[in-house]
Structure 1
Amino acid sequence: MSSCKLSSYLYKQSIQCRLYRPSSSLSAAKLARKWTQGYLVHSKYTHTHRHMSVLCQNCQKKYAFSDISLNLTRRSCKTLASTTKKKKKKLDPSKFGEGKGKKIVDVEKAMTVSSLADAMGVKRDHVYDAMEVTSNLNRFKPDTILDFDVIRDIIKKSNMVYTFKREETSQVEKKSLDAVRRPPCDPAVLKPRPPVVTIMGHVDHGKTTLLDYLRKTSVAAGEAGGITQHIGAFSVSLKDNQKITFLDTPGHAAFSAMRSRGAHVTDIVILVVAADDGVMEQTRESIKFAEQAGVPLIVAINKCDKPVADPEQAKRELLGHGIQLEDFGGEVQAVEISALKGTNIDILGESIVAQAEVMELKADVTGLVEANVIESKVDRGKGPVATIIVERGTLKKGCILVAGKSMCRVRNLYNEHNQQIGEAPPSTPVEVAGWKEIPAAGELILEVESEKRAREVIDWRMQHEKEERLKQDAVVIEKKAQEQHKAHTEKRKVNSLLTWKEIRMRKAAEQMKLGKENVKSDHPELNIVLKGDVDGSVEAILDAMATYDSDQCTLDVLHCGVGVVSDKDVEIANTFDGIVVAFNVVVSSSAETLANKLGVTIQKHSIIYKLIDDLKEELNERLPPVEEVSVLGEATVLQPFTISVGKRKVHVAGCRVNKGSLKIGQQFKVVRNQETVYEGQVTSLKHHKDDVKSVKKDMECGLSFKENIECVNGDVIICYEVSHIPQKINWELGF
């Protein structure tokens, strides 16, 4: 292409492609020279157009002349840019070069040992080994923060490649997929419902006996130890066919969580106070729970048939705890009853009905079900079951329920008499079978449209819980990283003032210290696998164990759950040299056989305070005995001498006993200038020429020691006895 033709072409292109604004004072030849000046490989315009570049005056970018096609016109600079500048793709390090075929690990600039192991898909021991090889590090904990250099070396040593995690740039919050309560419905569709009444009070004040009379049954006689250890739900019909749902909560100190749960799902609280005992610890606690839940109280003063009963004293004690009874001008009803003989039980029922009428209790019987888990367990014939009270809607067979991270397709509904029922309206206590897993006591139950929706809710809750846990871990990681950086800075500041020899000595001392820490501790410990009949019982036992704070022996719960003791439980206990504690559950025959074979102890209990007592005894057995030294006698060396026994010379200490007596077979020590030079036993003890077993005060004797040491005048010889006293654990629960 000649210079003239090139100039004419470039001039036309400048107008069509808008690469340069045309001017009347600028000729085509000058324009061509301006565009091509400085962009030719060689001088002048004799070379092909493929060696030329042009400059876009709009975007100030250079384009090769070959990119401007002679066959295409009216191209803007944006079109040219799209043809010349292709979008860069992120390269996959596992598909080329040194990283070909290797695993990719998503990393951050600072990670813990545990999080790095999870990202790599390996065990923590692999990370420890890699750190020892690459960084000469001896000991790291799972939550130790690693800097990026160490992370990179570990991944490289593991024959992997790394990429950095992409941070989420979107500020839009993720849409919640959780199931929630329905909004309040129109008051016109509400229908009356029975009141839910919780009976609370101190242990052995007659709560279960009161329910026995109402139900015409004998629950208390069947309770282990005569105390209630479960939360029970019953529906009782009074003489006028008025239905009341009762919750019986344990009064024992260990079941505080059950009482709290009962107070928060109830409409009315019946506070049972014994007329011969007055206000006790769990009575005060029940008052506090009722006040926190904001529910009205009705006081039932029980055991008024006893000769020593003093109802007025009990009322005065209640007044001292803020309970304003009607007898003293307040609003709280008080009924004097005898649950054993049935005295005034009808009056108590009328009081409950009257209080319920004042409260105008109503509920929506239509729509999706809302309920509360009162108790849960594994039944041998039904599988995982949960005792619930319906708050809203009508529960029927086939309903899909979600409680926490558990789901259920209702297979069967059972009433308190273990009879199948077709449906459960609001305020009805019912046992539900069909759970995939046991729901936790106290969980809110919500009905959803389908199993797919139930799985979606559970997945969302699990993911949300994981994200919250990661956020908490991130805060801890950041805090520990700052602490480690501060410690590293201070260490470098100190090292800057030391010589290299002093630094090496310090490192050697630290490694020796780490080596000592790696040795397994001889500190006593008791590991427990706990299995209970219901979730509430396991919860109460764990709460009782949480009060243990002694450092004499470590108490750890390896695993806890509801249901029969299985082989897996025995194997876990055997691995950690622990025991299995079974509360109100049976032990499978195979687990019993395996426990006998492995020597694993299985403790079976039905009463919680006896369980705690046995745990105390087990802890006591794990404690090493304390050595107690008792001084029996003391003597002073007057004259040491040597005798010949065959060809061997034996050193003998001639002594006079100053205190107590010296006895052969006991421990002796020789003290010289207030320092012990020998500790052990004697081989012979003589008085004059006779072998004796003991020498008393003011008597002279001759001693020869097992190690044949030579004594000097003035040495003090002490005879003492070592006794081993068993230790006792310091654990006070308050019951």
Structure 2
Amino acid sequence: MMIKYRVREVAKDLDIPNKDVLDTLSKYFPEPKKYMTALEENELDVVFETFTQQRSVDNLDAYFAERGGSAVPAVQPAPAPAAAAKPAQQQKTAQPRGEKRGNGAAQNQNRPQQRQQAAPQQQKPAQPQNAPQGSQQPVVVTEVREPVRRVIDTRSSNVNIDRYNEKYDRLADQKVKTDNVVTKQKFTNRNQQRRGNQRRGKRETEAERLNRIAQERKAKHITIEIPEEITVGDFALRLKVSAPEVIKKLMGLGVFASINDMIDFDTAVLIADEFHAKVEKEVVVTIEEQIIDDSEDNEENLVSRAPVVVVMGHVDHGKTSVLDAIRHSNVTEGEAGGITQHIGAYRVKVGDRDVTFLDTPGHAAFTTMRARGAQVTDIAVLVVAADDGIMPQTVEAINHAKAAGVSIIVAINKMDKPSADPDRVKQQLTEYSLVPEEWGGDTPCIPVSAVTKAGLDDLLEMIILTADMLELKANPDRAAKGTVIEARLDRGMGPIATVLVQNGTLHSGDTIVAGTTVGRVRSMMDDKGRRVQEAGPSVPVEITGLGDVPVGGDIFNVVSDERLARELVEQRLSEQKEQQFNAQTKVTLDNLFDQMKEGDMKELKIIVKADVQGSVEAVRQSLEKLSNEEVRVNIIHGAVGAVSESDVMLANASNAIIVGFNVRPDPVAEENAKRDGVDMRLYRIIYDCIEEIESAMKGMLAPKYREVGLGKAECRETYKITNVGMVIGGHVTSGKITRNAQIRVVRDGIIVADDKIGSLRRFKDDVKEVAEGYDCGITLEKFSDIKQGDILEAYEMEEYRD
């Protein structure tokens, strides 16, 4: 295959324009050519033949005469103008041929000289032709020559084009590409670049690089960002210095830290100043900040919203009757009797205003939501029977409402009964810091009757008035945020959650995150069972489309990115698992003193339950007297009866301790207390309670005992020896067996005996202990029904003090 010879190179060698070559090729070949097209051998033959014929001469005598006359003297008489014209013209054309026929090496050496001579020759034309006749001026032959043009002699069959360009000589030595072989394109990698750089100059050492960076830093201060805490190694990388330099500066400040130790932001600022660097605090943007909009609303965007009301009270005081009466008396006739309570919340029209009621069973859900940090309700309606007065569950409801910080409206129900005594109820309310408005207080007391529906309108008007005083507002033009009221798993529809929108507007199709659950809203139904497309503030709806069943009280947010939302849920699940393995964070009498020293605990909240009311008051007064400058005892709830589930919920929500006298917790409450980590102390003597709490406050709890495992041994053989009894031939598998240890005999995972070691021998000698991997003989003090394969666990009881 020939070396690539392009059109522009042919034109350059022939000293003709590119267009002439292209026109010649277009006459004989149909394919259009460009000036960068590589020509084949047959095409080159046509071009060379064509231009050779165009430049052919009839006679070469003048050329040979010129070459032969080079030996004559340089000065000759000038020929006549007419006679010299024709030889000069023939000389112009014939001279390049002679150069071609001459020595190629000499030609390449003389070519730069010829090009230098061509410039002055172009400026002054041939003087012998223009000289006047009869002039005796000598003529130098070399000055008569015209500008040299490179002409290729194509009369020979073999044209060696390689000599005209050195790069073709280099290409000829390389691997020739054939049609059926595909070669890969080679890219220069970094190693080759490094090798090339090493050849160019001396490689920069690490010390030189650090010195250069230090000089650049002095010339131009760099700025780095670091978080609140950072390791010494990472800090050195950001400063672009070595870790030993940073450690050296730290030692100068009196801080001894290794490369993996953490330093705070202030220390980092001081160290960075030594290296002429400025430090800015790194802003860490969490996933929640990226996808959840927690910005404050402007006043001009806020509009009034409906109040959220929860009805609480004793189970027999007509709470459900009041709810039903309010619901049925405030709907149109066409809807009366046909309403189905689909969800645990509903809306009631009061004139042109809406009121949202939460239908909670007692106050359990109310407390659960508050324990999760959800402030759902605005107003609490406390239903008290006029004939019964304040009951234990009523007191619990009062304490829950006070702890939540919501407005309380008392509805004195059953006013239609002859034994109704509203003044007695008001008197009892004052004992719990609820002073009626008629008596100069701020607690509205509305007499109502669920049977005759008397006073219900006054109750609703008071709810509206209280809501106006609270100035409840929300921004409907933003992403929705609210609380999960309740949730369940439906066999056909999957997870279904009842949510209350507290701010913004929830639309069908929105992606929401509720606690550790994420999903997209597929459908929404209101309290009337109608499908809706959006829900504004204070509107309860039932939604489907979540991936899992959320927990009541979870906060839900509409997010912008579903992928990031799923990452957020994964993070929350991981945090939950970590919290389960972390140390107990609930307040107990054991860790109370430590929290007091750390400044975490300024108030000890206690829930008191007793068998009689007199005990409750006595304990309340005795415990409140224990308050001192460091900690204040606050009895947040005291009532008669067993420790119930609601007590555990209140203690969990308020971080309180439950103290019981002559009472026991019910099974559900006991299970919840273990699950939530609520400390529950039960006593039979009041002085024991006072002394223990006082000791806890002073950090003087009595020492306790705990079990410390020593080792395990396996029974390999048994021997019955007279006057000794059953001897166990054992092999210590782990730990050690000591003579004074207690032994627990385990057979098939079941403890069959708990005894003490009578004697411990190795061969014939009594020993104090036997280490792992050795055999020994053991006798027990009481238990003798030992069998091969039994496991003997050695342990001892250790006294400890927190």
Question: What range is the shorter-chain TM-score in?
Answer: 0.3 to 0.5
Q: Rg bigger for which structure?
A: 2
Q: Tell me the TM-score normalized by structure 1.
A: 0.41
Q: Tell me the TM-score normalized by structure 2.
A: 0.38
